[in-house]
Structure 1
Amino acid sequence: MAAKPRPTAADIARLAGVGVATVDRVLNGRAPVRKETVDRVREAAEHLGYHALPLIRRRATARIANVRLGFVLQKQADPFYQNVAAVLRREFSCRPEVNGKVEIVFVDDISAKSLGEKISEVGIRTDAVACVAIEHPLVVQAVDELNLRGKPVFTLLSGISARGITGYIGLDSRKVGRTGAFIIAKMARAEGKIATLVGSHRYRGQELSEIGFRSYFRDIGEEARLLETIVNLDDPEVAREVTTSLLDRHVDLAAIYDAGGGRDGIIQAIRSHGSGLRPVVVCNDLTGATRSALIDGIITCVLCLPVEAFARAVIDEMVASIIGVRPVAPNRTLPFDVIFAENLPS
């Protein structure tokens, strides 16, 4: 009687409803495979009595090989983005359940064309990409094209309207803006003008912060105190010039709310201005410069992204999108820190 033919990888693939290449990836760990797919291959191998079943079982519980996560951040010289990049790398390296690499690209030319191209480039050579993006058709197009390729794409800190977005991870920007307004309303003098700065209205997060800020003053009947919003391009030098101009033109300037970047320029302008005016200032992100400014009384309050928790959430969602261990959260918002000189972390 002829011996029963040994089951092959093709038999496993047929029973599991996958391709032979997928079985090969499970056996050899050549690329990430979703957990449910690995489980189907393992179950098919068990049913058929496949000779390499022990190897497949080990692969099912082993570290995931060659997970490639891509990040497109902005302003390489900005200490905030440098800190975010370092914490993302550290968080990924500490994960026992994953192996692979992180690629982080900084974009200094924040034009829609440059940003869209970088998102596409990084997305093509990684398994999932996360980006700090502006709202623009070219950026939306880049994201949607990656989605059609089956690449998960996440927006960080500021969302966009692309259909292909897998999820958003960051803060509730409207709450950030209203919190900034609450602090200024309580701490600034009762009379005087209030200035609002944004980097660009193409950042949906900054726009929502501005909306929240203005809505608070509208609610309390003090919207007339608000000056027209000024764009500072998230550039310290532009922010310095803008702030100097505000201090020159408005001797009754009571407060400044910076919904975006450029905070170092605001600090420089207030420090060096001959009038000695010290408006209440609320801005984002705890850096070396904002820490010193809090201690010196140049800045009143900083509304901060909890960078460690943010990095954990980002890595969690990106890995989940690749291996399918659980559904991905389409909107993961984190509580933010409210830092004064009196509660500065050591």
Structure 2
Amino acid sequence: MSERPTIRDVALAAGVGTATVDRVLNGRGKVREETMRKVAEAAHRVGYHASTLIDQRLDSALPEMTFGFVLHKGKQEFYQNFANEIQRAVTARHDIRGRAVVRFSASQSPQDFLTEIAEISGKVDAIASSAVNHQSITQEVQRLKETGVPTFALLNDFAQGIRENYLGLNNMQVGRSAAWMATTAAKQQGKLAVFVGGNRWHGHELRETGFRSFVRDSAPGFHVLDTLVNLETRQVTYEATLELIDRHRDLRGIYVAGGGMEGAIAALREAAEPNTVSLVVNELTADSRAALMDGYVTMVISTPLRQLCADMVEMMISAVKNGSSDVPGQHFLQPQIYLPEAFG
């Protein structure tokens, strides 16, 4: 029978002295986190009997961090997926003892976002939110910054110049891509419609601007109708889309810049043949996937949530460890594009 691995075997495998392994095992003196990790990996590799104790020593030496997240539309599939990816990203970090607190605003009003932010602000080391752009939100972000709690804007930018960073898509570029697809897929020139959630969604305004600028510069044969506000709701989008189809026989394309795409899909299924009106939406869900396959959605522009959450947690850890940056930044991710052929 082979002999049981010893401290000496662990030390040799880790490339350290036996005294270092002893300090890790017994919690005596300070050992660098990197060295502790080497010892822990070596202990598992050689099958050392006290490897679980070394893991416990390593865990107890890691800094504790709690991250707060305030999203909205908690019942929607996209934001449920978002919350799951946040938890996954925090759990995947082995250099901290991390905890994610995810809350959902009851509505899109600034006050409801502020209520949730206030609930967690004294219990977290950093905050990220998909909040609307509003003066009261900006004031709260300033207050949080003064108390040492960095704030990150997710998907929709707010408190520019005060918040730590914006993470999401380049919304101007997203709008231009949507317009390119809507005009390219159209069988002939005609009218185009754009839905935005409301004036407080900075990201939606940028997408609308990008959409209009592309049509103006590259597809002048199309006419973009007055922008429609759908409050990111299914019912408003459904009713407005039916009206668009009824009033504009030359309607060639629709872009839903924010939420509410389910209403546009339902209206097209009811009142139009597949592939007659090009519909461009954001985020891949069960509804948008099915509509792609059935010819009622032409393109989906999707946020890479897993990458976004991993990058976000990395930035939050850095801000907690090193302090806020002197220059607020923007972190753009490359969108994922889905076409009907992807599911054919």
Normalised by the length of structure 2, the TM-score is: 0.80
2:162–2:328 contact (8 Å) kept in structure 1: no
Find the counterpart in structure 2 of residue 250 from structure 1.
248
State the distance in 1 between where 2:29 and 2:263 align: 59
- TM-superposed CA distance for 1:325, in Å, is 9.4
Q: Please state whether the residue corresponding to 2:67 is helix, strand or coil.
A: strand
- TM-superposed CA distance for 1:185, in Å, is 1.7
Find the counterpart in structure 2 of residue 340 from structure 1.
339
Which residue of the other structure, out of 216, 228, 231, is the alignment partner of 1:230?
A: 228
- TM-superposed CA distance for 1:221, in Å, is 5.4
Find the counterpart in structure 2 of residue 268 from structure 1.
266
1:144–1:162 contact (8 Å) kept in structure 2: no
Q: Which moved more, 1:179-188 or 1:320-329?
A: 320-329
State the distance in 1 between where 2:261 and 2:279 align: 10
- Structure 2: 5+ residue runs without aligned partners? 1-25, 37-57
1:257–1:281 contact (8 Å) kept in structure 2: yes
1:112–1:138 contact (8 Å) kept in structure 2: yes
- TM-superposed CA distance for 1:217, in Å, is 0.9
2:183–2:253 contact (8 Å) kept in structure 1: no
Percent identical residues = 32
Find the counterpart in structure 1 of residue 97 from structure 2.
99
Could you list the per-position Cα deviations for residues 207-227 of structure 1 after superposition, in whole angstroms to 9, with x for gaps in the alignment?
101100101111125276110
1:70–1:128 contact (8 Å) kept in structure 2: yes
Find the counterpart in structure 1 of residue 152 from structure 2.
154
Find the counterpart in structure 2 of residue 83 from structure 1.
81
Q: Please state whether the residue corresponding to 2:66 is helix, strand or coil.
A: strand
1:117–1:142 contact (8 Å) kept in structure 2: no
Confirm or deny that 1:133 pairs with 2:131: yes
Amino acid at match of 1:69: F
Find the counterpart in structure 1 of residue 307 from structure 2.
309
State the distance in 2 between where 1:323 and 1:274 align: 55
Amino acid at match of 2:319: S
Which residue of the other structure, out of 53, 57, 72, is the alignment partner of 2:31?
A: 57
Could you list the per-position Cα deviations for residues 319-338 of structure 1 after superposition, in whole angstroms to 9, with x for gaps in the alignment?
11112299697211100011
Q: Please state whether the residue corresponding to 1:56 is helix, strand or coil.
A: coil
Find the counterpart in structure 2 of residue 203 from structure 1.
201
- Structure 1: 5+ residue runs without aligned partners? 1-51
State the distance in 1 between where 2:120 and 2:205 align: 27
Q: Please state whether the residue corresponding to 1:119 is helix, strand or coil.
A: helix
Amino acid at match of 1:96: H
State the distance in 1 between where 2:125 and 2:29 align: 24
State the distance in 2 between where 1:53 and 1:83 align: 40
1:141–1:162 contact (8 Å) kept in structure 2: no
State the distance in 1 between where 2:121 and 2:258 align: 26
Amino acid at match of 1:76: G
- TM-superposed CA distance for 1:344, in Å, is 4.2
Give the total of aligned pairs.
294
Find the counterpart in structure 2 of residue 217 from structure 1.
215
Find the counterpart in structure 2 of residue 35 from structure 1.
none
Q: Please state whether the residue corresponding to 2:267 is helix, strand or coil.
A: helix
Find the counterpart in structure 2 of residue 284 from structure 1.
282
Find the counterpart in structure 2 of residue 27 from structure 1.
none
Could you list the per-position Cα deviations for residues 224-278 of structure 1 after superposition, in whole angstroms to 9, with x for gaps in the alignment?
6110000000111111111111111111110001111101111111112277783
State the distance in 1 between where 2:114 and 2:101 align: 17
Which residue of the other structure, out of 119, 126, 141, is the alignment partner of 1:143?
A: 141
Q: Please state whether the residue corresponding to 2:157 is helix, strand or coil.
A: coil
State the distance in 2 between where 1:82 and 1:282 align: 22
Q: Which moved more, 1:97-106 or 1:283-292?
A: 97-106
Q: Please state whether the residue corresponding to 1:57 is helix, strand or coil.
A: coil
1:188–1:255 contact (8 Å) kept in structure 2: yes
1:132–1:156 contact (8 Å) kept in structure 2: yes
Amino acid at match of 2:332: T
Q: 1:295 to 1:215 in 2, by over 3 A?
A: same
State the distance in 2 between where 1:54 and 1:85 align: 40
- TM-superposed CA distance for 1:198, in Å, is 0.5
2:292–2:299 contact (8 Å) kept in structure 1: yes
- TM-superposed CA distance for 1:161, in Å, is 3.2
Find the counterpart in structure 2 of residue 25 from structure 1.
none
State the distance in 1 between where 2:219 and 2:141 align: 41
- TM-superposed CA distance for 1:56, in Å, is 3.3
Q: Please state whether the residue corresponding to 1:342 is helix, strand or coil.
A: helix
1:120–1:146 contact (8 Å) kept in structure 2: no
State the distance in 2 between where 1:284 and 1:154 align: 21
State the distance in 2 between where 1:215 and 1:249 align: 25
State the distance in 1 between where 2:109 and 2:289 align: 30
- TM-superposed CA distance for 1:205, in Å, is 0.8
Find the counterpart in structure 2 of residue 47 from structure 1.
none
Q: Which moved more, 1:107-116 or 1:302-311?
A: 107-116
Amino acid at match of 2:294: D
State the distance in 2 between where 1:325 and 1:137 align: 24
Amino acid at match of 1:341: P
State the distance in 1 between where 2:29 and 2:333 align: 40
